[in-house]
Amino acid sequence: MVPETVRPVSPALAETSLSISEPAGEWHPAVCPLDCPDTCALRVRVADGRVVEVQGAPNHPVTRGHICHKVRRFPERIHHPERVLYPLRRSGPKGSGQFVRITWDEAYAEMVERFQAILATAGGEAILPYSFYGNMGILNAEGMDRRFFHRLGASRLARTICNAAGAQGYEYTMGGGYGTDPEDTVHSRLILFWGCNAVSTNMHQWLLALEARKRGAQIVVIDVHRNRTARQADWFLQIRPGTDGLLALGLMHVLIREGWVDPSFIAQHTTGFAELCAAVQPYSPELVAAGTGLRAEDVEHLARLYATCTPAFIRIGNGLQHHRYGGMAVRNISCLPALTGQWQYRGGGAIKGNSGYAAWNKQALQRPDLLPRPVRTINMNQLGEALLHAHPPILALFIYNANPAVVAPDTARVREGLLRPDLFTVVHDLFITDTARYADLLLPATSSWENLDLYKSYWHLYVQLQTPVIPPQGEAKSNFTLFKELAQRMGFTDKALQETEEEVIRQALQSTAPWLASVTWERLQAERSVKLAVDGGPPLGKLPTPSGNIELSSPRMAAAGLSPVPTYTAVTPPARFPLQLLTVPNHHFLNSTCANVAALQQAEGGRPYVDLHPDDAAARGIVSGSAVRVWNERAAIRLWARVTTDVQPGVCVCQGLWWDDAAQGRTAVNALTSPELADMGGGATFFTTFVEVEPLHRTDGGWALRDERFR
């Protein structure tokens, strides 16, 4: 199949670099498809049908020619020798990764037969789609796939693994994903990176902060470990994990006590200020210091900075909400800009996520009306439990855009579920990931640059169009094409399952959201990147909260059984597992994507490390560079120790979602993480995980791993 349109780059994004000899090939505009807030505008050079070079689009107002190492290395990923190029059927035991090549006809026939048998005997709910945002394009991540599974009557999936708790916490206050225009943050005078490792995870926000710093801004980082961002901050506050909600209460306490609030903004744009004042009254800096591990004077000083450096901007990261009470932590922080009226100033305010503005017409895009009857919803954070114990049982699992055997919490249980002999598992991916190893059918996926798609960012305010720059590799198919063809084979005749990419995009753009008014198919074709019509940030007075205002006290929270005003709940480690394990993203992978690119593995030190404080290491006889066993009630895994004061006593940090490595006897770190749900939104609590660590010694029989003691 030849892509619909393979066009050279438009002049606006092309701006050829001044190299002495012109490199071979043609530049094409592209969009970074990864689940990263920056959603960069790219230009990619294609020579002899292969992507050979990737650069940031020089003229894009946010990308401005800069991109990360991961995506510079994308040619290696796209043309990786291990890419899956043909449909495969399992030929060995589940999990073995042994497959034989089959045709698409055979693959479709098998899926149709299995799905129809399940529909006839158990009903559609016995089929579960499992997907996330391996590719952020709406057609491939939440378009034709959703239509297909709705029509099938499959169980629905609550896609909660990333930001569900924090997004809900923010939503209670602000009504949705409405924050500051990041381009305005060059005007900020104080930038707080709060649980956000922007240097690695949101590099253009970091570049904007550097520009603000040149104009006099201060950069403050609040994090549990000295990450790459903290190293470059003007002030780094090292906080105990999961205590951010308490710090926010302390800041509000000081702001209100000192009268450092904006009464007219509060009166005009908020509700519940009196209730908030009563709620924060007990949280003195001394009390907050005791819980957060900070000093009382630091709490006072931060409050003073926040009150006096206007505009002040808070980048609320994802890290602080991957905790048991992560929803409330974000809820508390999201009240701060309202107290000092920061939303009035260009460069003031906060960003948790900006997805609210590009509000596609979701009904038109995903067509939930195709569901033949109401069905259950399964929380993706509890995939293991669902595969092992759901009633009625899940008989077929269809995984795409995701790698749950590595990224989901409690992967030992996920894998136990994937081993079920009676489970029919289809995986659609570009690689034989750890998840794909368990597939009965493994289908080859195109990379995003082989497809047409539409992208928004959950941080900046541009909507971008991708047209294919290379043809589908091998026999790979996009998610869009796969589900459309599968629908046809299933005998579904609905028009919604036959539409073209352009038709679906046009429908998604038929939205009542005013910010999308500027975005049309025609403009996207001509300009590639179109800015949303956001005028000065959140729609104050017309927020989609019940009152239309910023809700400092939220009746909806009370109705949901939560405290209507900011509050804090402490979590204490169990005596048996005294170390809190934070398994955070690393610099060179994107979740588990890119973890199979050798150069990027090397850049991360070649293997996964666990950072331990010298006191914790000494107490356990652990030295830097040695193999250690990290375990809890769920699993035991091997990692390598790095002894460093970048972490606090009682905390260990392991960066990056590495795949299994049989040679090193290593399993993915999520075997250890908690499948408990957060306080809000059914969110994940990866970081409320407690472990013990001990040295591992090489024995004649290999590494001594004594799992059986603890299982």
Ligand X SMILES: Nc1nc2c(c(=O)[nH]1)N[C@H]1C(S)=C(S)[C@@H](COP(=O)(O)OP(=O)(O)OC[C@H]3O[C@@H](n4cnc5c(=O)[nH]c(N)nc54)[C@H](O)[C@@H]3O)O[C@H]1N2
* Binding residues for Mo ion (CB under 5 A): 162
Q: Total number of residues binding ligand SF4 (CB under 6 A)?
A: 12
Using rule CB under 6 A, residue 594 touches ligand SF4: no
**Spatial separation of the C-alpha atoms in residues 581 and 652, rounded to whole Å:** 5
**Spatial separation of the C-alpha atoms in residues 93 and 95, rounded to whole Å:** 6
Asked, as a colleague might, if the bond just before 392 is cis with ω within 30 of 0, I would say yes
**Spatial separation of the C-alpha atoms in residues 338 and 350, rounded to whole Å:** 10
CB of 353 to ligand X, least distance (A): 9
Residue 239: contacted member of ligand SF4, Mo ion, ligand X, none (CB under 5 to 8 Å, by partner type):
ligand X
Tell me how crowded residue 214 is: count the other CB atoms within 10 A of its CB.
9
Q: List the end-to-end C-alpha distance of the chain, in Å, as a whole number.
A: 51
3-state helix vs strand vs coil in the chain, percent to 5: 35, 20, 45
Using rule CB under 6 A, residue 593 touches ligand X: yes
Using rule CB under 6 A, residue 465 touches ligand SF4: no
Residue 71 or 396 with smaller CB distance to ligand SF4: 71
* Residue entry with tokens 């702001």: 255
Site string for ligand SF4, 265-294 (x = CB under 6 A): ------------------------------
Residue 315 in tokens: 């980048």
Strand order across the beta sheet in which 462-466 lies:
453-456, 462-466, 529-531
* DSSP conformation class of 569: -
Residue 71 or 254 with smaller CB distance to ligand SF4: 71
Q: Total number of residues binding ligand X (CB under 6 A)?
A: 59
Residue 384 or 539 with smaller CB distance to ligand X: 384
Site string for ligand X, 47-86 (x = CB under 6 A): ----------------------------------------
Using rule CB under 6 A, residue 161 touches ligand X: yes
Q: Which of 211, 140, 180 has its CA nearest to residue 37?
A: 180
Residue 481: contacted member of ligand X, Mo ion, ligand SF4, none (CB under 5 to 8 Å, by partner type):
none
Residues 362-379 as b or e (16 or more Cβ within 10 Å = b): eebbbbeebbeeebeebb
Q: Strand 270-271 relative to strand 453-456: parallel, antiparallel, unpaired? A: unpaired
Residue 270 or 670 with smaller CB distance to ligand X: 670
Q: Which of 142, 145, 159, 227 has its CA nearest to residue 193?
A: 227
Q: Which segments of 26-87 are extended strands (E)?
A: 26-31, 41-47, 50-56
Using rule CB under 6 A, residue 38 touches ligand SF4: yes
CB of 36 to Mo ion, least distance (A): 9
Give the residue, chosen from 111, 203, 222, 490, that forms a contact with ligand SF4 under the rule CB under 6 A: 203
Q: Which of 405, 531, 700, 707 has its CA nearest to residue 60?
A: 531
Using rule CB under 6 A, residue 196 touches ligand SF4: no
Using rule CB under 6 A, residue 44 touches ligand SF4: no
Give the residue, chosen from 403, 473, 481, 567, that forms a contact with ligand X under the rule CB under 6 A: 403
Residue 111 or 161 with smaller CB distance to Mo ion: 161
Residues 239-298 that bind ligand X (CB under 6 A): 239, 241-242, 244
* DSSP conformation class of 659: P
**Spatial separation of the C-alpha atoms in residues 75 and 73, rounded to whole Å:** 6
Residue 583: contacted member of Mo ion, ligand SF4, ligand X, none (CB under 5 to 8 Å, by partner type):
ligand X
Residues 83-142 that bind ligand X (CB under 6 A): 132-135, 140
Q: Which of 564, 706, 683 has its CA nearest to residue 635?
A: 706
Residue 226 in tokens: 């000295």
Give the residue, chosen from 71, 161, 164, 370, that forms a contact with ligand SF4 under the rule CB under 6 A: 71
Residue 445 or 635 with smaller CB distance to ligand X: 445
Residue 152 or 657 with smaller CB distance to ligand X: 657
Residues 30-49 that bind ligand X (CB under 6 A): 35-36
Give the residue, chosen from 9, 32, 208, 251, that forms a contact with ligand SF4 under the rule CB under 6 A: 32
Residue 203 or 266 with smaller CB distance to ligand X: 203
Using rule CB under 6 A, residue 145 touches ligand SF4: no
The tally of CA atoms less than 13 A away on the side-chain side of residue 481 is: 19
Structural contact between residues 151 and 487, judged by C-beta atoms closer than 8 angstroms: yes
Q: Which of 34, 6, 12 has its CA nearest to residue 590?
A: 34
Residue 585 in tokens: 């993203």
Q: Is the dihedral of CA 403, 405, 406, 409 positive or negative?
A: positive
Using rule CB under 6 A, residue 448 touches ligand X: yes
Residue 38 or 450 with smaller CB distance to ligand SF4: 38
Site string for ligand X, 473-492 (x = CB under 6 A): ------x-------------
CB of 287 to Mo ion, least distance (A): 33
Q: Phi first, then psi: give them for residue 53, nearest 5 degrees.
A: -155, 145
Q: Phi first, then psi: give them for residue 532, nearest 5 degrees.
A: -70, 150
| Residue of closest CB approach to Mo ion | 162
Structural contact between residues 247 and 223, judged by C-beta atoms closer than 8 angstroms: no
Residue 269 or 456 with smaller CB distance to ligand X: 456
Task: Provide the CA 123 distance to its chain's centre, in angstroms.
Answer: 32
Structural contact between residues 70 and 600, judged by C-beta atoms closer than 8 angstroms: yes
Residue 206 in tokens: 């970091």
Using rule CB under 6 A, residue 585 touches ligand X: yes
CB of 218 to ligand SF4, least distance (A): 24
Give the residue, chosen from 28, 43, 60, 70, that forms a contact with ligand SF4 under the rule CB under 6 A: 70
Residues 333-372 that bind ligand X (CB under 6 A): none
Q: Strand 218-223 relative to strand 235-238: parallel, antiparallel, unpaired? A: parallel
Residue 36 in tokens: 């990263």
Using rule CB under 6 A, residue 445 touches ligand X: yes
One-letter amino acid at 626 equals S
**Spatial separation of the C-alpha atoms in residues 134 and 396, rounded to whole Å:** 21
Residues 404-433 that bind ligand X (CB under 6 A): 407, 428-431, 433
Residue 8 or 474 with smaller CB distance to ligand X: 474
CB of 589 to ligand X, least distance (A): 5
Using rule CB under 6 A, residue 590 touches ligand X: yes
CB of 579 to ligand X, least distance (A): 14
Structural contact between residues 245 and 283, judged by C-beta atoms closer than 8 angstroms: no
Residue 271 or 583 with smaller CB distance to ligand X: 583
Residue 630 in tokens: 């990290």
Residue 417 in tokens: 């579920």
Q: Which segments of 259-303 are extended strands (E)?
A: 270-271
Using rule CB under 6 A, residue 207 touches ligand SF4: no
CB of 353 to Mo ion, least distance (A): 10
- Indicate the helix (H) or strand (E) that contains 222: strand 218-223
Residue 365 in tokens: 């895009």
CB of 35 to ligand SF4, least distance (A): 8
CB of 392 to ligand X, least distance (A): 26
CB of 669 to ligand X, least distance (A): 6
Which chain residues interact with ligand SF4 by CB under 6 A? 32, 34, 36, 38-40, 67-68, 70-71, 203, 590
Residues that bind ligand X (CB under 6 A): 35-36, 132-135, 140, 161-162, 194-197, 200-201, 222-225, 227, 239, 241-242, 244, 317-320, 323, 400-403, 407, 428-431, 433, 445, 448, 479, 582-587, 589-593, 657, 669-670, 673, 686-687
